[in-house]
Homo-oligomer: A and B are copies of this chain.
Amino acid sequence: MTIESMGLRAKKAAQVLSLSDGGQRNAALFAMAQALEAGQANILAANEEDLACARKNNMTQSLQDRLRLTPERVTDMRQGISNIGAEEDPLGKVLGGGTRPNGLQMQQVSVPLGVVGVIFESRPNVTADAAALCLKSGNAVILRGGKEAIRTNTAIANALRGAIAAVGLPKDCVQLVEDTSRESALALMQARGLLDVLIPRGGAGLIRAVVSQASVPVIETGAGVCHAYIDSAADLLMALNIVENAKCSRPSVCNALETVLVNAAVAPAFLPRLAARLASYPVELRCDAQALALCGGVPATKEDWSTEYGELILSIKIVQNLSEALAHIARYSTKHSECIVTNDYAAAMRFSKEVDAAAVYVNASTRFTDGGEFGFGAEIGIATQKLHARGPLGLRHLTSYKYFIFGSGQIR
């Protein structure tokens, strides 16, 4: 099916969905969770075919891991859908309003965005997550996953579509693009008048392609070159814990740490302990000249400061003061999550105010930038631009609003 005809179907489904009530949408989510359970054998069999193909194509182990579903992972997807169902309805909320001097009664009310497109890479759980988040927020969704997961995604999408139809909502609330060519991705990026927003989820190359080629509105997600600045007034044990956690607990994610900036006053005390703490993983240290002398590792190149490693590599730079740390962050930050460790009140406040990022932490790990951790229930991505929504994108960020204006014949 062409993207255009999918878009037209999605628009029709979105219209029906926009008139549904929260109870009906929750019933659909309940049915969707059950359908994953009932369809588990099918889904796992399809996943096994994708994995066989992946092995034949010599896919790396880490990509195979992302692609792989297990009964536990299917249970997690199911639990994720149930959790989304349990969230508060984001629609129909009165966000503002009042009576104008001429007597017009205005209400600003949350409504769905309409049709959401999601382009994503190998993880098949995105199919279930994105479908559930969009359905809960009253949006029809067009999902375009990667070629390597097409059988798994198709099995999941079919199960979900059946469940949606079973509760009397249009199955086209959730559609999966079966054509995984570049052309289908491009058509989705340029589906003007059909998509209200396109959300890319994946690596830097995907994001770049989408922002440069899309003519539909895009919420950019992704890159996180996150920093921790260890101030002269830092509690060094706390700093060790935070750096270890932010770097090592899940190095592949965007809220993981890439660079530590250490105040010169505490560098001699801090860096040898840091090197010792990270040696067991082991974390490769890429250091400027001064840091190298204190903790070993390899010399950092200019590229290191702007690289999102996504693995157990940490770049380290010594700075003379907070201003130098702020300047480095202003230059290299992707405006995702930034952290200061300090017990100095003025330094904490200045860092918070001056750093331009979605999330600015004082004395806490950057790993908390996450929809679940922020109390949003679940997330469809983490926005690194400033338009619409910034940081974790939860249900409320999948809504727009409209103004209801009740008059009695007012003219202007």
Contacts and interface: CB of A to CB of B under 8 A. Distances in A.
Interface of A: 15, 18-19, 98, 100, 104, 106, 111, 113-114, 192, 196-197, 211-212, 215, 217-220, 235, 238, 241-242, 244-246, 249, 330, 348, 352-354, 356-365, 367-369, 373-375, 385-388, 390-391, 400-412
A219 B197 CA distance: 12
Q: How many copies does the complex hold?
A: 2
A412 B98 contact: no
Contact of A192 (B211, B359, B365, B405): B211
Contacts of A359: 402-403, 405
A360 B402 contact: yes
Among A348, A356, A361, A412, chain B packs the most CB atoms within 10 A around the CB of A412
A370 to B, nearest CB: 8
Contact of A219 (B245, B367, B387, B409): B387
A91 to B, nearest CB: 11
11 contacts: A15-B356, A100-B375, A104-B364, A211-B215, A242-B409, A360-B402, A360-B405, A362-B406, A363-B407, A369-B403, A387-B387
A400 B386 contact: yes
A359 B412 CA distance: 15
A367 B411 contact: yes
Q: From DSSP, what is the main secondary structure of chain A's interface residues?
A: mixed
Nearest to A114: B386
Contacts of A18: 356
B104 A368 contact: yes
A406 B342 CA distance: 11
The 4 closest A-B pairs by CB, nearest first: A364-B407, A245-B411, A386-B400, A388-B388
Contacts of A111: 356
A235 B15 contact: no
Given A196-B386, A217-B220, A244-B411, 5 more contacts: A100-B374, A196-B385, A197-B387, A358-B402, A368-B410
A382 to B, nearest CB: 11
